[in-house]
Chains A and B, each alone.
Chain A
Amino acid sequence: MQEKINALRKDILAAMEQTETGRALYELKLKFQAELKTIMAGMKDIPKEEKPVFGKMVNEFKQSMEAAFEARAVIVREKEMQQKYAAERIDISMPGRKYKAGALHPITLVKNELIDIFAGMGFKVFEGPEAETDYYNFTALNTPKDHPARDMQDTFYLGENLLLRTQTSAGQIRVMENEKPPIKILSPGRVFRSDDDATHSPMFHQMEGLVVDKGITLCDLQGMLGEFARKMFTSSTKVRLRPSYFPFTEPSVEVDLSCSECGGKGCRLCKGTGWIEVLGAGMVNRHVLENCGVDPDEYTGFAFGMGIERIAMLKYGINNIKVLFENDTRFLEQFED
Chain B
Amino acid sequence: MKVPFSWLKDYVDIDITAQELAEKLFSCGFEVEELSYLGEKVNCVVVGEIKALTPHPDSDHMQICVVDCGEEYGREIQIVTGASNVYVGMKTPCALDNSTVVESDPKALEKNPDGVKKIKKGKLRGVESYGMLCSGEELGINDDFYLGAEVYGLLDLQKDAPVGEDIKKIVGLDDWIFDISITANRPDCQSVLGIAREVAAVLKKPLKHPAVDFTAHKTTAAPVKVEVLAPDLCPRYVGHYVENITGGETPAWMRKRLALSGIRSISPIVDITNFVLLEMGQPMHAFDADDLGDRKIVVRRAEKGEKIVTLDEKEFTLGNENLVICDGNKPVALAGIMGGLNSEIKATTKNVFFESAKFARDSVRKTSRALGQSSDSSARFEKGVDAYTNALGMARALHLIEELGCGTVTELCEDVCAVDLTERKMTASIAKINALLGIKVPDEEIYGILERLNFRPVIDGDTLTVTVPGYRDDIDNYPDLAEEVIRMYGYDHITPTFLEAASVTGGGLTDEQKKELHLKNALRTQGYLEAYNYSFYSPKDLDLMRLPKDAAERNAVRILNPISEDLSILRTILAPSMLMNAVRNIRRGNDEGREFEVANIYLPRNTLAGEQPEERKRLVLGVWGAKCDFFDIKGTVEALAEIFHLSFAYERAEKTYLHPGVSANILLGKTAVGVMGELDPAIALSLGLDKKVYLAELDLETIKGVMDDAIRYQNLPKFPAVKRDLALIVDEKLTCGEIEEVLMHSCKYVTKAELFDVYRGGQVPEGKKSMAFTLTFTPDQQAEKAFTPETLDGFVKKILGNLKFKLGAELR
Contact = CB atoms under 8 A, between A and B. Distances in A.
A118 B183 CA distance: 29
B183 A244 contact: yes
A132 to B, nearest CB: 7
B595 A124 contact: no
Interface in B477-505: 477, 479-480, 482-483, 486-487, 491, 494-505
Interface string B498-531: 1111111111111001000100110111111111
A158 B613 CA distance: 10
Interface string A99-117: 0111111011000100100
A64 interface: no
B612 A133 contact: yes
Contacts of B506: 122, 124
Given A146-B360, A241-B491, A253-B491, A105 B612 contact: no
A328 interface: yes
Interface in B1-51: 26-29
Contacts of B585: 327-329
Nearest to A333: B529
B501 A213 contact: yes
B438 interface: yes
A157 B558 CA distance: 9
Contact of B560 (A100, A123, A158, A283): A158
A108 B609 contact: no
Given A148-B383, A332-B529, A224 B610 contact: no
B483 A252 contact: yes
Contacts of A224: 498-499
Interface string B150-192: 0000000000000000000000000000000001111100000
Contacts of B29: 242-245
A223 interface: yes
B314 interface: no
Contacts of A112: 517
A260 B628 CA distance: 43
B538 interface: no
Chain A contact residues: over half helix, strand or loop, or mixed? mixed
A101 B439 contact: no
B569 to A, nearest CB: 10
Given A222-B495, A245-B185, A159 B563 contact: no
B304 interface: no
Interface in A207-225: 211, 213-220, 222-224
B639 to A, nearest CB: 12
B584 A328 contact: yes
A226 B186 CA distance: 29
Contacts of A243: 27-29, 483, 486-487, 491
Interface stretch (A32-40, A47-55, A160-168): A160-168
A325 B502 contact: no
A158 B527 CA distance: 37
A196 interface: yes
A245 B520 CA distance: 37
B497 A219 contact: yes
A95 B482 CA distance: 65
A123 B584 contact: no
A140 to B, nearest CB: 15
Nearest to B505: A122
B507 A118 contact: yes
Contact of A184 (B477, B507, B594, B602): B507
A251 B600 CA distance: 35
A102 B594 contact: yes
Contacts of A286: 477, 479
Contact of A105 (B26, B531, B558, B608): B531
A115 B509 contact: yes
Contacts of B371: none
Contacts of B607: 131, 158-159, 162
A20 B383 CA distance: 99
B528 A102 contact: yes
A301 B503 CA distance: 13
B562 A156 contact: yes
Contact of A203 (B436, B500, B505, B535): B535
Interface in B575-609: 581, 584-585, 588, 590, 593-595, 599-600, 602, 607-609
B557 A131 contact: yes
A58 interface: no
A293 interface: no
Interface in A229-273: 239-245, 247, 250-253
A209 to B, nearest CB: 11
Contact of A130 (B28, B521, B584, B615): B615
B495 A332 contact: no
Contacts of A190: 535, 599
**Best-buried of B185, B186, B532, B588 by chain A (most CB within 10 Å):** B532
Nearest to B591: A329
Nearest to A203: B534
B567 interface: yes
B437 interface: yes
Contacts of B500: 215, 220
Contact of B595 (A196, A239, A242, A327): A327
A118 B499 CA distance: 13
A121 interface: yes
A329 B486 CA distance: 49
A146 B364 CA distance: 10
A217 B441 CA distance: 14
Contacts of B365: 151
B113 to A, nearest CB: 20
B361 interface: yes
Contact of B590 (A216, A222, A330): A330
B362 interface: yes
Interface string A285-299: 110000000000000
B520 A104 contact: yes
A120 interface: yes
A127 to B, nearest CB: 7
B460 interface: no
A194 interface: yes
A217 B437 contact: yes
A148 B438 contact: no
Given A156-B559, A182-B503, A162 B610 contact: yes
Given A124-B507, A133-B612, A220-B499, A102 B479 contact: no
B384 interface: yes
B530 A332 contact: yes
A251 B365 CA distance: 27
A219 B437 contact: yes
B560 A159 contact: yes
A160 B496 CA distance: 44
A194 to B, nearest CB: 5
Q: Nearest 8 A-B pairs (CB), nearest first?
A: A217-B438, A219-B438, A215-B501, A243-B29, A146-B362, A245-B183, A251-B483, A223-B496
Given A102-B527, A107-B532, 20 more contacts: A103-B524, A103-B530, A104-B530, A119-B507, A121-B507, A124-B507, A131-B607, A133-B610, A157-B560, A158-B608, A182-B503, A184-B505, A215-B435, A226-B496, A244-B29, A245-B185, A250-B480, A250-B482, A251-B486, A286-B477
Interface of B: 26-29, 183-187, 360-362, 365, 382-384, 435-439, 477, 479-480, 482-483, 486-487, 491, 494-510, 513, 517, 520-521, 523-536, 557-563, 567, 570, 581, 584-585, 588, 590, 593-595, 599-600, 602, 607-613, 615
8 contacts: A105-B531, A122-B506, A124-B510, A133-B612, A152-B184, A158-B608, A214-B502, A242-B491
